[in-house]
Chains A and B, each alone.
Chain A
């Protein structure tokens, strides 16, 4: 979507602090990356300081395939903040990536009533402001 139509973007933005800032910086470059332990290779999200599996402090931001499947969701009808009033109903969806990590996002092309467990999805990048890009997902055509 063109940036000028988003000049009035009112929804909450990530505060761009700590390791979350790194995660979203890659998103701005249209790359979905998660932390992966540099020693044992275990993927993780949300970002952590230490590998929970082997205890290593060393990690890399490894590129995700961008592919995953729907793990669960809710369909929100009540706007808990006024700026969500024009959005309802909307569905915060948990996506399980093929790498095994899970993240929260939105599907851009699936109506809430059509959501199913296991539905295959692929990442798309939404440049919601000049500074912030949010990873979202669309239904994947093939496996």
Chain B
């Protein structure tokens, strides 16, 4: 069977400013990021002929109209919450590998601070369920019992893991501190200049047990964009091509209700990870760094188990501050992640992985980075995995 391995490359990446109060629309933020990605790639706006649109905020046609794309040959959407950007790479890679489109733009962004603020119910006193694939479950069965926010839903998985396997708060804290430490080396990070200690982690207020404040990601007005083309075309462009060596998506079962899952630790990534590793033809030891979707600290740990870096129940021993630090065996969220750089639905994880592989990361550069992985997580545990190499 034909494989997508190394058939497509990421050739441009960009972001908007990361702020708490953009004063712009989601589309404006994403166009700003797209313009930066185009500039990075050395492409002109109308070179784009495919768009994998964002899960919210604007349509592919909005982008085409603004960018002067008179002949949009491919448009698609991935509705997987925070897994959407990584899984969009799969769709984009298929499109360019088959010649359906030549240059595919993948934008994503939102006003996660000034408009859709999750910590206040997602948008100014809303007392009905959100739109989207999960709205029915949330409105009908969760909201009457006050389960409104992602931090609560994923806490159910975390609580059970802690009680069954002795998973420790110290591990969760180590992930929060690691992200913040890396952010000190990232000029784009919102939390640069605001270091965090493990004591700070334990002293912070509870949000929803077992999650304290620093278990939770930021809320940000921010956008990112990446451009995907075929590997043949990529070699003609100005940047070091970053190859999509393995990519896959997966969904937990059932995807739309967490309590009903026979095994709550089987997540989308459980299915995606072996497929992407097999496609790339590499093993875990080949991975030089990992950008893992970090809406909440434990969700990173759940994904580390699903990725197969350790067995179920062992993540609390696997994740040590030394192992996940820059210079460690598995540098984790080298930009600071959603915790300390910005919440950009994980497209910033892709942007960071590309920059690491192009060796543009300055003080936080992973030495001799050749292969990295990026995960996405969203909508109750949908997952995506991209294995990238230079």
Q: A residues within 8 Å of B by Cβ?
A: 11-15, 17-18, 20, 23, 44-46, 52, 71-78, 80-84, 87, 89-90, 92, 94, 101-106, 112, 117, 134
Contacts and interface: CB of A to CB of B under 8 A. Distances in A.
Given A14-B140, A20-B140, A77 B206 contact: yes
Nearest to B139: A15
A101 B209 contact: no
4 nearest interchain CB pairs? A74-B155, A75-B209, A20-B140, A77-B206
B139 A81 contact: no
Interface in B223-282: 254, 256-260, 264
B160 A72 contact: yes
Given A12-B128, A74-B155, A77-B209, A87 B146 contact: yes
Contact of A104 (B142, B208, B211): B142
22 contacts: A14-B141, A15-B128, A18-B136, A20-B140, A46-B140, A46-B141, A46-B256, A74-B159, A77-B206, A81-B120, A89-B206, A90-B146, A92-B156, A94-B259, A104-B141, A104-B145, A104-B259, A105-B145, A106-B145, A112-B209, A117-B163, A117-B164
Nearest to B212: A77
Contacts of A52: 254
A139 B160 CA distance: 19
Interface residues of B, number: 45
Contact of A46 (B118, B137, B160, B164): B137
B59 interface: no
B208 A76 contact: yes
B121 interface: yes
Contacts of A117: 160, 163-164
Contact of A74 (B125, B143, B156, B163): B156
Interface in B106-156: 118-121, 125-129, 136-137, 139-149, 151-152, 155-156
Given A12-B144, A74-B156, A106-B145, 5 more contacts: A12-B148, A46-B141, A76-B208, A77-B206, A84-B146
Nearest to A93: B145
Contact of A101 (B139, B142, B146, B260): B260
B119 A80 contact: yes
Contacts of B144: 11-14, 134
A76 B146 contact: yes
Nearest to B137: A46
B43 interface: no
Nearest to A90: B146
A104 B147 CA distance: 9
Nearest to B216: A78
Contacts of B211: 74
B205 interface: yes
B121 A80 contact: yes
A83 B127 contact: yes
A77 B209 CA distance: 8
Given A15-B128, A92-B142, A77 B160 contact: no
Nearest to B153: A74
B260 to A, nearest CB: 6
Contacts of B146: 11-12, 76, 80, 84, 87, 90, 92
